Amino acid sequence: MKTARQCIIVLLTLLEFSHASIDRRSLVSRYNPVRNASSSVTPMQVGNGNFAFGADATGLQTFLPYAIMSSWGWKNDSLPTNRTMEDILQYQGVSWWNHDRLVTYTFDGDAETQQWLIANPNRVNLGRTGLVFFSEEGDIANVTESDLSNINQELNLWTGNITSRFVWEGQEVAIETHSHQSTGAIGIVISSPLLEQGRLGLFLDFPWNDGTSKFEAPFVGEFNLTSNHTTTLLTNDTPGSRIAAQIAHTMNNCTFWTSLGGGRFNISRDSPETHRYTVRPAAQASSEFAITLAYSLDKPVSTPAVADIVRSSTQAWEDYWTYGGFVDVLTGSSDARADELQRRIILSRYLMRVNEAGDTPPQESGLVNNGWYGKFHMEMFFWHSAHWALWNDWDLLDRSSSVYSRFLPTSIERAQTQERWDTGARWGKMSDPSGRSAPGEINELLIWQQPHPLVFAEYEYRAFPTRATLEKWRDVVKATADWMADFAWYNETMGVYDLGPPMYVVSEDTSPNVTTNPAFELSYWKFGLALAEQWMVSLGEEVPANWTTVKSNLAPLPIENGTYAVYEGIPSDFWYTPTYTNDHPALTGLYGWLPETPGLNITMAKLTAEKAWAYWNISNCWGWDFPMLAMSAARNGETEQAIEWLLHPLFQFDDVGMPIGGARVPTPYFPGSGGLLYAVAMMAAGWDGSNRDAPGFPTEGWQVEVEGVSRAL
Ligand SMILES: *[C@@H]1O[C@H](CO)[C@@H](O)[C@H](O)[C@H]1NC(C)=O
Ligand SMILES: *[C@@H]1O[C@H](CO)[C@@H](O)[C@H](O)[C@H]1NC(C)=O
Ligand SMILES: *[C@@H]1O[C@H](CO)[C@@H](O)[C@H](O)[C@H]1NC(C)=O
Ligand SMILES: *[C@@H]1O[C@H](CO)[C@@H](O)[C@H](O)[C@H]1NC(C)=O
Ligand SMILES: *[C@@H]1O[C@H](CO)[C@@H](O)[C@H](O)[C@H]1NC(C)=O
Ligand SMILES: *[C@@H]1O[C@H](CO)[C@@H](O)[C@H](O)[C@H]1NC(C)=O
Ligand SMILES: *[C@@H]1O[C@H](CO)[C@@H](O)[C@H](O)[C@H]1NC(C)=O
Ligand SMILES: *[C@@H]1O[C@H](CO)[C@@H](O)[C@H](O)[C@H]1NC(C)=O
Ligand SMILES: *[C@@H]1O[C@H](CO)[C@@H](O)[C@H](O)[C@H]1NC(C)=O
Ligand SMILES: *[C@@H]1O[C@H](CO)[C@@H](O)[C@H](O)[C@H]1NC(C)=O
Ligand SMILES: *[C@@H]1O[C@H](CO)[C@@H](O)[C@H](O)[C@H]1NC(C)=O
Ligand SMILES: *[C@@H]1O[C@H](CO)[C@@H](O)[C@H](O)[C@H]1NC(C)=O
């Protein structure tokens, strides 16, 4: 199936190449990040979506402990004092009424147990590796970055490798860093005359990190809490073995493996009190030293050779740049902002594939550092990953979109036992790879994650309109829509179906007990139920009557004083009340992020968006709000405004393309990058019903070439 799909993509791309001519390689390479010093905030990275390696100016973690993280490296902390696993499993929160149903939620139960459930499992920093410098006498030299000169580092985007050069004590050093593309292996090649003199080596170290802090940025874990964890060195003298040494790193119940292969070397532990090991290349009068460091959950029997890692990286990255979607806004544009927009596009494409193409949805900070203990948020999955669908990177999206079928059983269970809704699946929020959603009032009462799988399914069917696609998503679509229909509550007085209370809206800042019929969620419900109905029709199955009844009779969108309102009953002067205009401006998503939904008055939606542009507290927005604002401007025909939102001064990407967290959250905050790519795709390739090329761009000053990018809904 996947192979067939890849063939289709290759074929489509080849067909496009017969008439299109974006010089992809030179456009990509134009934005290769270059540094002459380490950043204290963001690493340069290599990786593959499931695994990423953050580097300082030496291409390793010599001076700064940037993280090595993965989609599979998770562990549990020890249990809270005086609590057993049984207590954890039996955790119960409070019961709140949802109209006539008493619903049991997982919050406000035993505080210790609840916090453990929120913070566990947490995502592990797999280790650190860096250069060791030796004096002429052979002692370890105390070197800082300021002792180096002529630092010059380049990330080659086209092949996914970092080249780092500098001079130490008058001698040149060059380091190549490559990441394998299907395992957690790094290939390191060091070239320097210092090697011949026995004056360069590597160290490996292992931090303790746990759920004490919700955010761990820019670095993850502590290297001085050495008694909390253990490491053990195993060496292997078997001639010809691909693995020369292994370090088992055990934190509580979990062991992570680091396997070293490649060049000949000696390895020893610095002292029993630390987890630091020193690798010295065997004396062999060579000015080059190549080594593989492979990180894994299971103890491997082999590691890829450095040459295999280089091949794997070069091939996978060239394929990605060559066969995925591509947008050129630079060539032929006279608008001075085109260069910066193109830079953001290219660097976001790189960083999304390094950080956000794993087997589970990404955390907000990808594989750079930890936020929310390393967990991922199901409502943010759209902003992280829907762009893959528009840019036609189906092999990458398939990895994580499969969570919907994997999490289906636990989401059905959530609806039934926890929430006592009898039908359907309620998707969780702040999640770990098992599908368990963390306790918490907002986590439990948020609902806008619910329709997302319908959108992912719809895009997949548009790309692959086959029976197999329909069947693949059938159970997910059905259970998703069943719960949506069941959650809506029939208000007999009004003769409509209400959403909430209690519930939280997208902006998470209204009182859940009074929040009823929010405009965005009502529209998303209508839109989602319509997609689900069509799915059944395409399958040739009967559309459940409740879906249609609910969809057609949902409460009308709330209106206050001539614009749409956040929710029904909000004070009519809410636009001028800071507490209501201070987080995600989801009202602008009514027409922009969402297409025209039944009953939406486009004129009023535009008035609403303009009101948000003027009155929302933009300085407190989150990264993805800017692409959402751009999409509303674009769909409303305000193309100049759309460009301004994408390049807004409060929406920044640093020199290597990391999206700045801004006022709300540490850097990076990748929903900003995912949102940017989704918005750019929509503005460049259009949306259903748009009727000119690049409909989101101004006609003056911009020339936009698009290859292999699909329209947005
Ligand atoms: C390093 O690069 C920055 C710009 O990125 C530049 O301002 C600075 O002068 C450079 N420093 C050296 C020593 O080359
Ligand atoms: C660790 O493993 C033991 C034995 O399998 C188990 O009883 C215990 O609950 C685990 N603890 C945690 C925190 O996962
Ligand atoms: C531990 O739990 C037991 C039984 O719940 C209780 O009697 C005891 O006071 C607790 N001890 C501490 C230190 O919390
Ligand atoms: C919401 O209602 C529940 C009872 O259903 C109550 O326990 C809770 O305190 C209320 N929350 C707020 C913020 O008013
Ligand atoms: C290494 O050098 C730094 C900066 O000069 C100094 O602060 C530190 O104490 C030195 N460490 C050792 C172990 O000598
Ligand atoms: C790695 O990138 C550099 C440029 O940054 C390039 O010159 C070099 O050839 C690349 N190495 C490989 C093995 O692709
Ligand atoms: C460990 O290092 C951190 C800084 O990374 C410091 O804040 C902390 O006090 C140290 N802890 C111990 C036990 O030395
Ligand atoms: C980790 O080590 C520190 C310092 O030794 C100690 O205070 C802390 O309780 C330990 N944490 C765990 C979870 O073992
Ligand atoms: C029915 O809807 C009206 C208008 O939105 C509202 O005032 C009323 O509280 C709802 N009825 C119930 C029982 O929630
Ligand atoms: C459909 O709605 C009816 C009436 O509200 C209800 O009894 C039934 O359980 C619902 N069925 C589903 C599948 O939600
Ligand atoms: C209604 O909107 C107008 C401007 O459109 C504004 O002047 C007026 O204050 C608003 N009324 C309320 C109650 O917010
Ligand atoms: C849509 O909203 C505009 C602006 O409030 C209003 O003038 C118009 O009558 C509305 N259209 C419909 C069909 O309600």
Mutate to test the pocket of ligand 2, among 85, 122, 210, 251 (most ligand atoms within 8 A of CB): 85
Closest ligand relative to 120 C-alpha: 2
pLDDT of residue 310: 98
Going by alpha carbons, the residue nearest to atom 12 of ligand 4 is 513
Give yes or no for residue 222 CB within 6 A of ligand 7.
yes
Going by alpha carbons, the residue nearest to atom 12 of ligand 12 is 601
Residue pair 304/183 in contact by the 8 Å Cβ criterion: yes
pLDDT of residue 461: 98
pLDDT of residue 2: 47
* Token pair in block for residue 66: 């940037």
Q: What is the pTM of this model?
A: 0.95
Contact residues for 435 (Cβ-Cβ < 8 A; gap 6+):
403, 406, 407, 410, 411, 428
Going by alpha carbons, the residue nearest to atom 1 of ligand 11 is 561
Mutate to test the pocket of ligand 8, among 223, 225, 250, 253 (most ligand atoms within 8 A of CB): 225
Closest ligand 11 atom to the C-alpha of 574? 14
Domains of the chain: 24-69+124-321 (2.70.98.50)
Give yes or no for residue 485 CB within 6 A of ligand 10.
yes
Give yes or no for residue 3 CB within 6 A of ligand 5.
no
Q: Measured in angstroms, how far is the CA atom of residue 563 from the centroid of ligand 11?
A: 10
Residue pair 557/600 in contact by the 8 Å Cβ criterion: yes
Give yes or no for residue 493 CB within 6 A of ligand 9.
yes
Q: Measured in angstroms, how far is the CA atom of residue 163 from the centroid of ligand 5?
A: 27
pLDDT of residue 262: 86
* Residue 326 CA from chain centroid, whole number: 20
Residue stretches of the chain with pLDDT short of 50: 1-2, 18
User: Which residue is listed with tokens 């902006």?
Assistant: 507
* Token pair in block for residue 340: 């910066």
Phi first, then psi, for residue 138 (nearest 5°) are: 95, 10
| Cα separation, 194 vs 424, whole angstroms | 65
Mutate to test the pocket of ligand 7, among 224, 274, 369 (most ligand atoms within 8 A of CB): 224
Which residues have CB under 6 Å of ligand 11?
Answer: 561-562, 572-573
Instruction: For residue 467, count CB atoms less than 10 angstroms from its CB and return exposed for 0-12, middle for 13-18, buried for 19 or more.
Output: exposed
pLDDT of residue 1: 41
pLDDT of residue 19: 53
CA triple 341-342-344, angle to 5 deg: 65
**Is the C-alpha dihedral spanning 501, 502, 508, 510 positive or negative?**
positive
Residue pair 17/25 in contact by the 8 Å Cβ criterion: no
Q: Measured in angstroms, how far is the CA atom of residue 530 from the centroid of ligand 6?
A: 50
pLDDT of residue 241: 80
Q: Measured in angstroms, how far is the CA atom of residue 210 from the centroid of ligand 9?
A: 46
Closest ligand 11 atom to the C-alpha of 575? 14
pLDDT of residue 195: 96
| Cα separation, 663 vs 9, whole angstroms | 40
Give yes or no for residue 144 CB within 6 A of ligand 5.
yes
